[in-house]
Amino acid sequence: MFCNGYGFDDLSPDVIVSAVENAVEVGTSVFFDPGPRRKSLLSGTAEEQKALRHFLRMSDVLILTADEVESLTDIANPILAGQELLKKGNRAKWVVVKMGSKGSILITKSDITCAPPFKVKIMDTIGYRAVGCGAGRNVATLKKVVELIETPDLNEDDKFWNELLGDHLN
């Protein structure tokens, strides 16, 4: 189950807590990305604060920015802050800290892995902050969509992936 902080805009904290409890009960992994809403949840109603704490304790995977992990722990170092969240979480297996242009950090109880960023070819910035593809549909034509799909550098070739994955394919 995936939930982000914006789920609190549409659902009551009690419904969200119930969804987490049901997911845990049936063995579903819980992913939580509080996003920008974490600020208002930290200072929100008692029910919102309780639901946020519940999500932080019961999630298998926490996905946060460096600012978010610091605001939740009062620890500036993102690795130490991620480790603190792992200690506090009943089920937490991973904390992923998004470091913007520096990549991301995966923190587990036994390991720390850094993933560098990768460059992408910017084709069009219209709607780059939009969620979903609603903004793109207003400017896209069938010809442009087909052109993007057929562009070789958007679809890496099989040789690259076969070399990268090697023995893990079988």
Torsional class of 43: left (φ above 0), alpha (ψ -120 to 50), beta (otherwise): alpha
pLDDT at 38: 61
- pLDDT digit string (tens) for 74-131? 999 999 999 999 998 788 999 999 988 788 889 999 988 888 776 667 666 665 554 4
Q: Which helix (H) or strand (E) holds 104?
A: strand 104-107
Look up the pTM and report it: 0.68
Map out the domains of the chain with their CATH numbers. Answer: 2-115 (3.40.1190.20), 134-169 (no CATH)
Least confident of 67-71, 98-102, 103-107, 154-158: 154-158
